[in-house]
Structure 1
Amino acid sequence: MHQIIEFIRQTFNTQDFIPLHEPRFIGNEKKYLNDCIDTTYVSSVGKYVDEFESQIAHYIGSKYAVATVNGTSALHIALKLANVSQGDEVITQPLTFIATCNAISYCQASPVFVDVDIDTLGMSPHALEQFLEKHCQRINNQCHNRTTGKIIKACVPMHTFGHPCRIEEIKTICDDWYITVIEDAAESLGSYYKGRHTGTFGKLGTLSFNGNKIITSGGGGAIVTDDEALAKKAKHLTTTAKIPHPYEYVHDETGYNYRLPNINAALLVAQLENLENFLRSKRELARIYSSYFANTEIQFIKEPQSSSSNYWLQAVMLKDEKQRNEFLEYTNKNGVMTRPIWRLMNKLEMYKNCQCSDLKNSKYLEERVVNIPSSVRI
């Protein structure tokens, strides 16, 4: 363990505390923030919001992007755009951040959990297809869950730590079952599956720019889609459903105050200018880690086949839960921040009664996976 600590310190060239992931502001952030302050456009109206939406859509290869205050709000609205409502069900994976399931709950719908693949850490197409064949039937172009009697409206796979799941196969299966795919690409900006950016395979995709993401504005998120009508609806719902007018306040449905402020968008425009540098640093760090851990009993988690990962959070796999706990305790006590993968969603109190497939891979990973320092190295 001591050797690992010293290696990580050497890699980051510091004897100080090493966080899991910290942002880097090395470009035009202050310049663009000052511009916002000087013009007084610091709220949800301003040139940087429009500029960021245009730039992020172009970067990932989507026709439209709608900026939001965070990734959770983006996912909430995306689910509403997929007509997920009270009493519906949404298939997702148990190995994910809580926001995925919370957004489903905001729609008064219920998550259904299917297993992940060991190599991608993301939803398994095989597990998804097995679940649908066993529990569901197609009635009037809808997917009916025979076990619960409810309609499965959407499927939300997540690209864990920036490693793309087998999203193309998942989309094919869901299309066959009349299920709308919404990609939770919160962690995978700069990641590609078969040469195509994550978040662009589903009808809708969502991104996050939280403080620990590869680019950040402290918060922030985005909905991406190729559907013009959905993009317009997303912008309407995220701006309190206000009908455009020079001075009247008229709202035509229940909306949400989810629009990204201009001052945050200014940060993101500046961060985007350095994204390629950040990605190069991430992949170089992954190469260094991979080379080091190849000579140990600890497995470094590499990008899956047919993928190019942003390596947002670097991760290792320990041999069992006991070794994982020892690793976590030793590193954190010695000033190197590490953390376990998330507690499985079906183990949390509010989701413990949700329907699940066999989750053997998810349980295996939960007991063994640890994130290690992943910040961009300057």
Structure 2
Amino acid sequence: MNVSQDTQLVHSVIDAITRAIGAKPSVLHEPCFQGNEWLYLKECLDSTFVSSVGKFVDRFESDLAKYTGAAHAVAVVNGTAALHVALTVIDVGKGDEVLVPAATFIATANAVSYCGATPHFYDCLPNNLGADFSKLRDYLLRNTRQSLGQCININTNKKIKAIIPMHVFGHPVEMDELLNLCKEFNIDLVEDAAESLGSFYRGRHTGTFGKIGVLSFNGNKIITTGGGGALLTNDSSLAKRLKHITTTAKISHPWNYYHDEIGYNYRLPNLNAALGCAQLEGVNRLVNKKRELYSVYKKTFEGIDGISLISEPRECKSNYWLQGVVIDERFEHLRDTLLKSSNEAGIGVRPLWTLMHQLEIYANCPRMDLTNAESMVKRVINIPSSPTLLMGS
């Protein structure tokens, strides 16, 4: 270990961030309210329709569908609820397995557990957090069999019902390769596009490739409704069922309350949707600012040995929701020092999530070799990513 070299690298990283965004204290990500947010919120409050009924919910769903190119959008209380319902309506249940990336936010795995199913973890690409579908295909060829049009795990004898790809930090995964894999192994596709509103794979918006896609509008996302999420689908019958099951499965009637199945009280309140409508009006500007921030970081990090930026994949347009840096394996021992020193300097940075199989609650779940994810978790750091950093606010 070269102490002086280590110290220089830490200082170089902090200096690069400071030169990019200025010396002012910065959090990892904060929302941007520079449009009609106050106007629409006041209009919603004046209407008194602040709960699950109101014009802003319908408008938000319509605007989301138009922006993403999906035939239908259904707004719900958060992205986790959206994932849960998406898996429920494609009949994921007890005794099933769902392929989930090891490198993801815990909501992806939790939603599988809510259905009584088991997460089955797969690896990412080396030096990239995109899913390694080639490696996964080889794994499935060795560890599954086909029976009556279903993919069966030969080690557990359970059905692998679905796969959830996650577009980490807004960078689209290789969807063509994934679609071919799903067709080959008879596996349903539910996209976790929670972080990728405004991201496109070969000109098509993320979340619109599988049976259902899921978005999140948490306070730290590219646009926010405070809390909130949405389901995207091109299937009209699925859209109808999604809306029904997320509104407690209540049969529409002027006054009677009759519910024809177990549903969920997941509908997005009108008040939150009002905020979302205003936010969505400015989404292109926010994406452009985030892409500009990446370019600024790329320039200030240029020439720093041992550090690289995570960039959008080929033939993709990423929203760069969170800017990410990868520490070379030679310097992976510096990750925690970088985290500590940066935060002490007023620069909000964070590590990658703890990998799903490294959590006690999911330690016994089936998994393939996860060498790449286990390397990346030691070396990835997110740096300040707010679009406001380049807006003078």
Counterpart residue number, 1:83 = 91
Give the drift of 1:3: 4.6
Counterpart residue number, 1:58 = 66
Q: 2:101 aligns with which of 78, 84, 93?
A: 93
Alignment of 1:128-277 (within 5 A): 128-277=136-285
Give the drift of 1:11: 3.1
Q: Is the 8 A contact 1:120 1:163 kept in 2?
A: no
Q: Is the 8 A contact 1:160 1:187 kept in 2?
A: yes
Counterpart residue number, 1:316 = 325
Q: 2:340 aligns with which of 329, 343, 351?
A: 329
Q: Is the 8 A contact 1:346 1:354 kept in 2?
A: yes
Counterpart residue number, 2:362 = 351
Q: 2:303 aligns with which of 295, 301, 304?
A: 295
After superposition, give the CA deviation of every residue in 1:299-320 in whole Å (9 maximum; x if it has no partner): 1111111211100000001124
Give the drift of 1:7: 4.0
- Give the match's secondary structure for 1:245: coil
Q: Is the 8 A contact 1:36 1:262 kept in 2?
A: yes
Give the drift of 1:8: 2.7
CA distance in 2, matches of 1:255, 1:39: 28
- Give the match's secondary structure for 1:86: coil
Counterpart residue number, 2:386 = 375
Q: Is the 8 A contact 1:114 1:131 kept in 2?
A: no
After superposition, give the CA deviation of every residue in 1:55-84 in whole Å (9 maximum; x if it has no partner): 111111100000000000000000011110
Counterpart residue number, 2:47 = 39
Q: 1:9 aligns with which of 6, 18, 36?
A: 18
Counterpart residue number, 1:23 = 31
Q: Which amino acid aligns with 2:230?
A: A
Structure 1 pair 49–357 and aligned structure 2 pair: CA distance change class (3 A): same
Q: Is the 8 A contact 2:127 2:326 kept in 1?
A: no
Give the drift of 1:4: 3.7
CA distance in 1, matches of 2:18, 2:63: 36
CA distance in 1, matches of 2:126, 2:300: 22
Q: Which amino acid aligns with 2:161?
A: K
Give the drift of 1:172: 1.3
Counterpart residue number, 2:6 = none
Q: 1:339 aligns with which of 333, 350, 356?
A: 350
CA distance in 1, matches of 2:176, 2:384: 30
CA distance in 1, matches of 2:21, 2:296: 11
Q: Is the 8 A contact 1:338 1:370 kept in 2?
A: yes
Counterpart residue number, 2:76 = 68
Q: Is the 8 A contact 1:294 1:300 kept in 2?
A: no
Runs of 4+ in 1 over 6 A off after TM superposition: none
Paired positions, count:
377
Q: Is the 8 A contact 1:21 1:375 kept in 2?
A: yes
- Give the match's secondary structure for 1:277: helix
CA distance in 1, matches of 2:215, 2:135: 25
Q: Which amino acid aligns with 1:301?
A: I
Gaps of 5+ in 2: 1-9
For the pair 1:117 / 2:125, whether they are aligned, the reply is yes
- Give the match's secondary structure for 1:59: helix
After superposition, give the CA deviation of every residue in 1:255-305 in whole Å (9 maximum; x if it has no partner): 100000000000010001111110110000000111221210211111111
Q: Is the 8 A contact 2:16 2:301 kept in 1?
A: no
Q: Which amino acid aligns with 2:194?
A: A
- Give the match's secondary structure for 1:53: helix
CA distance in 2, matches of 1:345, 1:84: 20
TM-score by length of 2: 0.94
CA distance in 2, matches of 1:253, 1:351: 30
CA distance in 1, matches of 2:127, 2:56: 38
Alpha-carbon RMSD across the aligned residues, in angstroms, is 1.1
- Give the match's secondary structure for 1:270: helix
Gaps of 5+ in 1: none
Between the aligned residues of both structures, percent identity stands at 52
CA distance in 2, matches of 1:194, 1:61: 13
Q: Which amino acid aligns with 1:131?
A: Y
Give the drift of 1:171: 1.5
Counterpart residue number, 2:5 = none
CA distance in 2, matches of 1:99, 1:347: 15
After superposition, give the CA deviation of every residue in 1:314-333 in whole Å (9 maximum; x if it has no partner): 00011243121111111011
CA distance in 1, matches of 2:65, 2:125: 29
Give the drift of 1:43: 0.4
Q: Which amino acid aligns with 1:159?
A: H
- Give the match's secondary structure for 1:95: coil
Give the drift of 1:10: 4.2
Q: Which amino acid aligns with 1:370?
A: I
Q: Which amino acid aligns with 2:154?
A: R
TM-score by length of 1: 0.98
